[in-house]
Amino acid sequence: MNALILGTGSWGTAFGLHLAKNWDNVVMWGIEESQVNAINNLHCNPDFLPNIELPGNISATLDLASATPDADAIFIVTPSQVTRSVAAQLCKCTLKNTAPVISMSKGLELSTLKRMSEVITEEVAIDDAGNIHPIGALLGPSHAEEVGLDQPAALVLAGTSEIWHQWQKKLSTDRFRVYTNHDIIGVEISSAFKNVLAIATGICDGLGYGDNIRGALMTRGIAELTQLGSVLGGRDETFYGLAGIGDMITTCTSRHSRNRNFGESVVKENISPDDILNKSVQIVEGVVMTEAALKLSLQHSLELPISTEVYNVLFQGKNPEIAIKDLMDRTLKAE
**pLDDT score at 270:** 82
Whose CA is closest to 139, among 164, 163, 122, 113?
Answer: 164
Catalytic residue among 96, 194, 279, 325: 194
* Sites in the chain below the pLDDT cut of 50: none
Q: Tens of pLDDT along 265-316?
A: 999 998 899 999 988 878 899 999 999 999 999 999 999 999 999 999 999 9
- Cα 67 to Cα 144: distance, rounded to the nearest angstrom: 23
Q: Is 218 buried (19+), middle (13-18) or exposed (0-12) by CB count in 10 A? A: buried
Question: Going from the N-terminus, what domains does the chain have, and what CATH number goes with each?
Answer: 2-182 (3.40.50.720), 185-328 (1.10.1040.10)
List the end-to-end C-alpha distance of the chain, in Å, as a whole number. Answer: 50
Whose CA is closest to 276, among 172, 181, 211, 206?
Answer: 206
Check the CA dihedral 209-213-214-215 and report its sign.
positive
- One-letter amino acid at 43 equals H
Q: Tens of pLDDT along 242-261?
A: 999 999 999 999 999 999 99
Determine whether 194 is an active site residue.
Answer: yes
pTM given for the model: 0.96
Task: Give the chain's mean pLDDT.
Answer: 96
**pLDDT score at 209:** 97
**pLDDT score at 188:** 98
**pLDDT score at 281:** 76
**pLDDT score at 283:** 87
DSSP 41: I
